[in-house]
Amino acid sequence: MTLSYSKYICTLAATALLLYSCDDKELPQDPVLTMPVTALCLEVSGEEYTAVPVLDDNAVFTGDLVLAVKVPSGKAKVTAISLLDGYTSTLNVGDEVHFEDNRLGITVYSGGKEAGVFTVEMQFNPPPFFYFVKTSDRDEQGDGYYLDADTQARIASAGYDNYFEGEVDLTESNWDNVALVSEDLTTIYNLADGPWPALSSYSWTAETKTAPGNGYFKSDGPWNDWRETNGNPAIVSPGVWRVNFDSTTNTVDMTMTQWAVAGSAIDGLNAMTYDSESRSWTIDAALRSGSLHFETIPVTFGDPRFYLGYKADILGQLAADGKDFDVEAGNYSITLTLSDSPYYTYSIVKK
């Protein structure tokens, strides 16, 4: 859920707290807002954030603060805290604190007596994204290039920067025109071009045009045979593509991905099967004690290869620089779901 900051941000007259930066050397004094905690910064998953007071419709502090973070976590470190004169609290700089159900309680004292309990609620600020639209995205009447915001494929920026990535299903999309559409639905990123013969890895530089504003986003291309496997028998589920987009250069890199499991727990690259309905990759495998990771099988020699392993404290907990999973010997059902970038999820279940 995207935060609506208009609900939470105080006016300049109401508080100096929002002018405070975690990088400031001195904490602000707050002569107007009658709340004991005048500044609070917490480090979550390696990044610093300022807790913002929540106001009611009359601009009165409710007793709650919001911490809008990129990567949610159950723990945080207090990096700065300031209280009104005469108040103390249960928090100190350097403390590691733990959130329960995304909430943290702060008890403050005055004159040795409890003066109130305040709550910090950790909320997730979703990363920016682009929609991915193709010819065969149709409405109920069968008209193409239709964008359904609730179900449309997306690529997102896990780093909240200009690099976007995601996996899109083109299993039923031979020779479709494809395009990216901005999050605000105003701009189409496309190119009137396509490879011939078909390619399993294709890079293009997007041109932009203004979207018509009618819910349909007709693109000029590019096009490709999105299921072309070049006769490679190792590709058991053609038509699923990884899309990388640099919004600074408008460069789009697209690669067909055949995901597999590999590692010391199994011999070779073992292809997974893709299911369009669940939008997941699956495999049943007999494993020996050892390690395991996810890896792609190149469709064509020279295609980029991708790797995913476990990495704590990132979105989805899968990353290219993640570690292998340790597994015991046995029969396993393994699932990999990459359709909701950047929330890459997996399960490795022993039968």
pLDDT tens across the length of the chain (351 residues): 223 332 333 322 233 343 344 554 343 443 334 578 888 999 998 889 999 888 877 777 788 899 998 877 889 999 999 988 899 998 999 999 999 989 999 999 998 899 888 899 999 888 999 999 999 999 999 999 999 999 999 999 988 899 999 999 999 998 999 999 999 999 999 999 999 999 999 999 999 999 999 999 999 999 999 999 999 999 999 999 999 999 999 999 999 999 999 999 999 999 999 999 999 999 999 999 999 999 999 999 999 999 999 987 666 688 899 999 999 999 999 999 999 998 899 999 999
The span from the CA of 20 to the CA of 28, in Å, is 7
What is the pTM for the complete model shown?
0.76
**Alpha-carbon Rg of the chain, whole angstroms?**
25
pLDDT at 203: 98
Asked if 154 and 129 touch (Cβ cutoff 8 Å), the reply is: yes
pLDDT of residue 17: 43
Which residues on adjacent β-strands are paired with residue 252?
204, 245
Beta-carbon contacts of residue 312 (< 8 Å; ≥ 6 apart): none
Single-letter residue type at 88 = T
Could you tell me which residues are beta bridge partners of residue 249?
Answer: none
- Contact at 8 Å (CB) between 38 and 18? no
Instruction: Using alpha carbons, select from 343, 171, 168 the residue that is nearest to residue 179.
Output: 168
C-beta separation of 97 from 91 below 8 A: yes
Q: What contacts 24+ positions apart, CB below 8 Å, involve 136-139?
A: 136/172, 136/173, 136/176, 139/215
How long, in residues, is the chain? Answer: 351
Cα gap 188→155, rounded to integer Å: 14
- Residue 322 has what DSSP assignment? P
Report the pLDDT value the prediction gives residue 313, as an integer from 0 to 100.
Answer: 63
In the block, residue with structure tokens 């005055």: 110
Confirm if 300 and 200 have CB atoms less than 8 A apart: yes
